[in-house]
Amino acid sequence: MKNKILISVPHYEERCTEGVKILEDNNCELIITQNGRPYTFEELKEIIGDIDAVIAGVDTWDAAVFEHAKKLKGIARFGIGVDNFNLEDMKKYGIHASNTPGINRNSVAEHAVTLMLSVIRNVPQLNRTTREGAWARFITHELKGQTVGLLGFGGIARSVAEKLKPFGVEIIAFDTYPNYEEAERLGVTLCSMDDVIEKSDIISIHVPCTDETRGLINKDTISRMKDGVYLINTARGPIVREDDLYEALKSGKIAGHGTDVFEKEPVDLNHPLFSLDNYICTPHTAAESYENYALTGVATAKAVVAMLNGEAPEHQLV
C-alpha cells in the first residue's frame, strides 16, 4: 500500500518535478492542493485522517488538526518559518517536523531589495499614473549614503547586505546571536536594536515571528524612528502592528512601507492601509522563484522519505 502525502504548496507538481519523482519512486501517492491558498482547519479535518506525511506551506498545524491525524508521521515545511507549526503539540502527538533553512535566502533577499527600491522610488504609483496619462514626476533620495538597518542578521539579511553593498549604503544590524565574522566580511556594523530603530533611514525586518518579536514594530518603536524612515518587511506580518503602521504612514512619520507579509493572510482588503499610495505590498511571494521551488522540492521530498522510513530528516525540529 502506498503512503499518502498531502502537499499544501500550490504548483508543487509543476515546479518541483524532481521532488515529485523522489516521492513517487518511494511508493508515495500525492494529494496536492489546488486551492492556491492555505488549507482551513475544516478542510484539513476532512482529509488528514488518511495522510501519512505532509509537505506544508503556511497552513496551521496544531493539536486541533493532529487530533484527526491518526496516521500522520511527519511534516516537512516548504520554507524556513515555522510559526504556523505548534512544535509542542507535535511532540505530544509524536509527529516529526523539519524545515528547509537557507534555500530561499537569495530569492527573499532579492525581493527585499526590490521592495526597498520600489517604495523609495515610488515605482508602483508612477507606473499607475503614467498609464492614466498623468506626468506625475516624483523626487526622492538616492540609496547612496543612506543608513540601512537590518533587524536580524541571519542568512537572508546577510544576502540583503551583500546585494546592497554596490549602492554605497552604510549598513548596521542587530541580531540576538551576532555573527561578527560575517559582519566584518560584509562591512556591516553590528549594534543594538535601539540603534537600528533610531539611526536607520531604511529598516528591513529579518527576524522570526516569536512571542518576543510579535508586535515589535508598534507605536512606541515607530515614535523612536527617524522622521521619513522607510520600512521593509519580508519576514512575518505579525511583527508589525498594522493599525500603528497605518497611522505612521498617513502622518508621514514612515515615508513608505514595502511588505510581502501581513498580520492576517489572505489579506483583509477593507484595512485602511490599502487606501495609501505609500503602502506597497505583494502576496507573500518573496520565495516564489523557480530556483527555490526546485531545490526546496527536493529537500522536502527527501525529508518526507526519511520520516516515513523512521529516520531523522535533515534540519529536524521535532
Mean pLDDT to the nearest integer, 49-74? 97
- Domain architecture of the chain: domains with CATH: 3-102+289-308 (3.40.50.720), 105-281 (3.40.50.720)
pLDDT in tens, 278-292: 999 999 999 999 999
Enter the DSSP assignment of 6: E
Mean pLDDT to the nearest integer, 247-273? 96
Mean pLDDT to the nearest integer, 134-143? 92
Write the CA distances from 137 to 12, 143, 201, integer angstroms: 42, 18, 23
Enzyme catalytic residues: 236, 265, 284
> Using a CB cutoff of 8 Å and minimum separation of 24, what contacts does 269-274 make?
271/242, 271/246, 272/246, 273/242, 273/245, 273/246, 273/249
Mean pLDDT to the nearest integer, 5-22? 96
- Secondary structure (3-state) at 154: coil
- Residue 23 C-alpha cell reads as 516521492
* Residue 37 in this model has a pLDDT that exceeds 90: no
User: Do the beta carbons of residue 239 and residue 268 sit within 8 Å?
Assistant: no
**Alpha helices, DSSP H only, in 224-289?**
242-251
Mean pLDDT to the nearest integer, 161-182? 98
- Could you tell me the strand order of the sheet in which 202-205 lies? 189-190, 170-174, 147-151, 202-205, 229-233, 254-259, 279-281
**Model-wide pTM > 0.85:** yes
Cα separation of 186 and 109, whole Å? 15
User: Do the beta carbons of residue 122 and residue 145 sit within 8 Å?
Assistant: no
pLDDT in tens, 80-93: 999 999 999 999 99
Residue 265, pLDDT score: 87
**Alpha helices, DSSP H only, in the chain?**
12-15, 17-25, 41-47, 63-66, 87-93, 105-121, 123-131, 155-164, 180-186, 193-199, 219-223, 242-251, 290-308
Residue 82, pLDDT score: 93
Categorize the per-residue pLDDT at 36 as very low, low, confident or very high, splitting at 50, 70 and 90: confident
Considering only CA atoms, which of 82, 58, 76 is closest in space to residue 208? 82
- Secondary structure (3-state) at 198: helix
- Residue 127 C-alpha cell reads as 507606473
